[in-house]
Homo-oligomer: A and B are copies of this chain.
Amino acid sequence: MAASTLTEVARLAGVSPATASRVLNGSARTPGPDIADRVRKAAESLGYIPNAQAQGLAKSSSGLIGLIVHDIADPYFSAIARGVQAAARDQHKMVLLATTAGTPDDERAAVAAFAARRADSIVIAGSRSIRQQDREGNAVLAAELDRYCRNGGRVGVVGHPVVGASAPEGYHVVAVPNEDLAAELARELAAFHNGDFVVIGGPQGLLTSDDRVRGFQRGLESAGLPPAEVLRSGFDRSGGYEAGLALAKRIKVGQSAASGASRLCIFAVNDVMAIGAAAALRSEGLRIPRDAAIAGFDDIETLRDFRPALSTVRLPLEEIGRLAVPVTATGGQAPDGGTVVPVTGQVTLRRSTEAVAEAAA
């Protein structure tokens, strides 16, 4: 027993399918009140549910928003996803989810799949990469996106424009001032921290990571300090953990050697990495902020109860997700192309970078 169709409803109501369509789905004006009522009753009694596929085919639009993330279980992405979901709801659309682990080729496939489903818009949340190994992948992805745009699709990007994209009018980007915020963080830390600085960065070429590293260095410089050493690792917790392990050894050596060894200040380019690094230090018997200061970036909600409270840069993740959804021409003007929406964050210093009594050693 398949779901009932519009035609069945129309027959039951004794009207034509066209009329039924007009009353049940948004048309100019609902026909004669009495007729309309009859149709609605018929629909009700049959438990009629319009076939969105058919509607989409006929109108060539789907009410779908495609969302691409690296990993939906990563709190950074799930926070953004919440925002996207909220925006989708406001637009009376649904969210189609794709996870790609950041692989350009998977992303391309996701875009193609979204295009196949005639998604009204696509939101790409993952950080862009310009690693050598991703060169070709990026090009193909850009081509796919361009085509999607040319066919009338809208794409929203969090953070950076898509590398190599060239359909100017289709892209909408939420610009996160990663570099500036990282610089500010560095300056604020430099104001009272007087030991060395170390950065735990993600893989070189990951734009978000690169921006934050660059910004941090710039901040140090503007505070009259030399650039920090940069450790490279994975952009996730385990990356932070590994780097943390390496740093822990170094710290311990330093402590046992010169008694004047200064306390290290570690900046991990995102909170999850920072937590990993902190866990590593702890596992080596070191304590924060006593033996080292540490700061992250993002201000992940789930991590706010972490102790010592993590210094970080607060990003309005949910808002970012909401803003990343392009406004498709539903009512008024045609969607303006090439939009850039700026958001801002806030340096948030907490316990993990507090100064400690000098006489620790």
Q: CB-CB contacts of A267-292 with B at 8 A, as 1s and 0s?
A: 00000100110110010000000000
Complex CA distance for A90 and B229, rounded to whole angstroms: 42
Let me know if A211 is at the binding interface, CB within 8 A.
no
Stretch from A94-102, A213-221, A326-334 forming part of the interface with B: A94-102
- B-chain residues with CB within 8 Å of residue A99 when the two chains form the complex: 82, 85
The segment from A36-44, A67-75, A177-185 that touches chain B is A67-75
Copies in the complex: 2
Contacts of A272 on B, CB cut-off 8 Å? 302
Known contacts A51-B57, A73-B81, A305-B278: does B94 contact A117 (CB below 8 Å)?
yes
Q: Could you say which residues of chain B place their CB within 8 Å of the CB of A279?
A: 305
Is the pair A151, B57 in contact by a Cβ cutoff of 8 Å?
A: no
Q: Closest B residue to A300 by CB, please name it.
A: B302
Check A95/B94 contact, CB under 8 A, given A53-B117, A71-B82, A306-B305. Answer: no
With A72-B85, A97-B96 in contact, do A49 and B278 touch (Cβ < 8 Å)? no
A73:B301 contact, CB within 8 angstroms? yes
Q: Which residues of chain B are near A95, meaning CB under 8 Å?
A: 96-98
Q: State the CA gap A172–B237 with chains docked (Å).
A: 34
> A303 interface residue, CB < 8 Å from B?
yes
**A108-116, A187-195, A200-208, A353-361: which lies at the interface:** A108-116
A318 CB-CB contact with B under 8 Å: yes
Report if A227 contacts B (CB, 8 A): no
| A60 CB-CB contact with B under 8 Å | yes
**Which residues in chain A, 52-68, are within 8 Å of chain B measured between CB atoms?**
52-54, 56-57, 60, 62, 64, 67
